[in-house]
Chains A and B, each alone.
Chain A
Amino acid sequence: MNTEALVRQLCEINAPVGYENLAAEKLKSLFEPLCDKAHVDTFFNVIGFKKGISENPGKIIITAHYDQIGMIVSGFEKGGFLRISSLGGVDTKALLAREVTIHGKEEVYGVIGAKPPHLLKESETNKNADINDLFVDTGYPDDVLKKKVSIGDPVTVIAPVTMLKNGCIAGKSLDNRAGVAALVLILRELQNVKHPNDIYVIATVQEETHLLGAVTSSYSLEPDLAVVIDVCHGDMPEADRAQCFPLNKGVPVSIGPAFHSEYTNDLLETAKRERIPVQRCIEPGNPGTEAWAIQVSRTGVPVVEVGIPLRYMHTTSELISLQDVENAAMLVARYVSGDIVRKVEGFI
């Protein structure tokens, strides 16, 4: 399976925050043939384990979250319509005139319409739609609908996965299936490598709301080092250049208080040695990623982070370059293959 097919497959999976059980087994089946052991934990974190060859191996975790923003059914309206609330940071700008799947007793198709233009007042056209004014139109009579759908059922958007020119691809949930794709590529890359340390790749849950998967998995595994893979903002005409990274111009490596400076230097050295281009991603505080939670797990975990530039985050047209996914995976694979864990003898 080439990278395009892998990313495409991962985009088509639905795992709304808190309902990752919809996709956990599928991810496990992607990891399983590539590692010594794969399992799904209580919270639906999907963990693939690859044993190191060292007698006294260190423990490295590589995380990428696989949950996605979505909606939840919050009520019924007459005429086969459903009210919805947000799950995670949904931009209602990107919900009007969209197709959705309601994950009820069965999957139900629906569309989110918009008030027709001829009824819109001038003042309304200037305002962003409020989620309370949006409804899912299911096309079913009310009694039929109530047999299929319940309040609390998750709702996900349907969007095509569109292959664009220059090796780019656009679709929903590339935040952070691009990162999950990198996990699979890393496992593939490690197939014929004798690495000293034990390596756990983890597709984590509930990042979009409160980093839950990162918190629970780093607590239970007590790693010596964590590598976080997540998307960062790609270059967009109207956005602040300092916060955005051009596509195909190198792997963003995060730098700032959330990241261990020496391990980050090792990572940058690896990139230089392997001739993989990098960009420096400056995060002066909370980077808004799992790194923030993992760093303070138990007695503290050193964290490094690589990014994948992604344009139009949290819309149905998230856009990435496949080359960036491959480069990020290659960099991390080479990095974790080395004898990099620094065991510090404590005095307590």
Chain B
Amino acid sequence: MVRKLAELTKIDGISGNEQGVREFIIQNLADKSLKFYNDSIGNLIVKGKSVGTSSLKVMVAAHMDEVGFMVNYITDDGKLKFSPVGGIDSRILIGQHVRVGRNKIPGVIGYKSIHLQDKSERKSAVKIKNLYIDIAAKDKENALEMVNTGDYVAFASEPVFFGENRIKAKALDDRAGCAVLMELLEEVWPFEFYACFTVQEEVGLRGALVAANRLKPDIGIVLEGTTCADVPKVKEHEVSTVMGKGPSLSFADRTSLADRELLEHFFRTAEKEKIPYQWKTTVSGGNDAGRIQTSGTGVKTLVVSVPCRYIHSPVSVLDLNDLENMLKLVSRGLHTLPGALGR
């Protein structure tokens, strides 16, 4: 799973441009006989193996897209102006190396050097509208030979294993969820099981909505990478999750409230099976559960996440034990679900 995760983070899949991730997942499905379906928005829906008598229909979702940028203007001197796709802290951008468009034209995000900044400029952050990507084009015409407006831009950041059991990469949110979901497809389920690799989560949870409308599941489990601010100078009640303490269960975030029955079943499973877990302690962020919960006539949902430091940046970090425990918890929780719900 770890190797798959590292490979997944190398792929550029900004919201609306997820095909690279989708193709990787299809090519790497362990069981080639699994049926899969690509819907019109780009979701990849894979029907898992199942035997058994439970009447439950379960949808497990992880989103394939990542935050990034789009080129929206090319200046006369050949610099690329850009706008963010998804939520990005503009303060992290100066000096980043990026890849532009289908041909992955290399570029860097520039800003005049500290020597040329006046006192107030040195103290203030730079807005995205004042930044640009430099691909070393001679002028606009030369730039247009390589790129065009509308091209997607991804951070150039390779996965690195470091410290004890840590990985740094871009797009851990939510390739981590994708990696876990790929593992779940290797199991045989006691109910109808659909793995939904969704699109456009970062721009408004759009893929999950249509996938849920199509499947009309009873249960929706969302696998996420979530905020983890257990770093110096952040107050204890603001940390959200703590790295290394296991996958997190959310009772609520900005888009959904967890189903109490599911929530209880999963944390009791964790306690019974001695799988480390934690509560996400801030009601913040939103994810596909928000759309799945209110789809059709309503779906019971639960969000299980792996804590992810420096999320939405090219140096996101997660703990590989947390990832393994997330797989364990979701797998055990799902297998015992029919008994717990009496279906």
Contact = CB atoms under 8 A, between A and B. Distances in A.
Interface of A: 77-81, 83, 89, 91, 93-94, 96-99, 109-120, 125-129, 133, 135, 137-141, 144, 159-160, 162-166, 168, 170, 233, 236-240, 243-244, 247, 288, 311-317, 319, 321
B28 interface: no
Q: Which of A91, A97, A163, A170: most chain B CB closer than 10 A?
A: A97
Nearest to A158: B160
A126 B165 CA distance: 35
Interface stretch (B13-21, B123-131, B322-330): B123-131
A244 B77 CA distance: 15
Given A79-B231, A138-B163, A160-B156, A166 B142 contact: yes
Contacts of A127: 123-125
A312 B122 contact: no
B95 interface: yes
Contacts of A140: 163-164
Contact of B136 (A116, A126, A319): A319
Interface in B202-245: 227-234, 238, 240
A111 B106 contact: no
6 contacts: A96-B313, A111-B317, A125-B90, A165-B105, A170-B106, A233-B115
A135 B231 contact: yes
B231 A233 contact: no
Contacts of B138: 166
B89 A125 contact: yes
Contacts of A288: 115
A93 B94 CA distance: 7
B285 A312 contact: no
Contacts of A314: 113-115
Given A97-B314, A116-B227, A170-B97, 9 more contacts: A79-B232, A113-B317, A125-B91, A129-B91, A140-B164, A164-B108, A164-B136, A313-B113, A317-B97
B309 A137 contact: yes
Q: Which of A78, A94, A319: most chain B CB closer than 10 A?
A: A94
B89 A312 contact: no
Contacts of B238: 119
B87 interface: yes
B254 to A, nearest CB: 9
Given A120-B89, A140-B164, A97 B310 contact: yes
B162 A91 contact: no
Contact of A114 (B89, B126, B130): B89
B95 A162 contact: no
Given A165-B135, A233-B115, A314-B114, A135 B92 contact: no
Interface string B86-122: 0111111011110000000111111111111100001
Nearest to A76: B232
Contacts of B201: none
B115 A317 contact: no
Interface of B: 75, 77, 79, 87-92, 94-97, 105-117, 122-126, 130, 132, 134-138, 142, 146, 156, 160, 162-166, 168, 227-234, 238, 240, 282, 284-285, 309-315, 317
B147 to A, nearest CB: 10
Contact of B113 (A80, A91, A118): A91
Nearest to B145: A165
Nearest to B107: A164
Contacts of A126: 124-125
Contacts of A164: 106-108, 134-136
A159 B142 contact: no
Contacts of B165: 139
Contacts of A239: 112, 116
Nearest to B108: A317
A170 to B, nearest CB: 5
B115 A109 contact: no
Contact of A113 (B87, B106, B110, B313): B313
B91 A139 contact: no
A144 B315 contact: no
Nearest to B87: A117
Contacts of A109: 160, 162-163
A118 B116 CA distance: 32
A96 B92 contact: yes
A168 B108 CA distance: 11
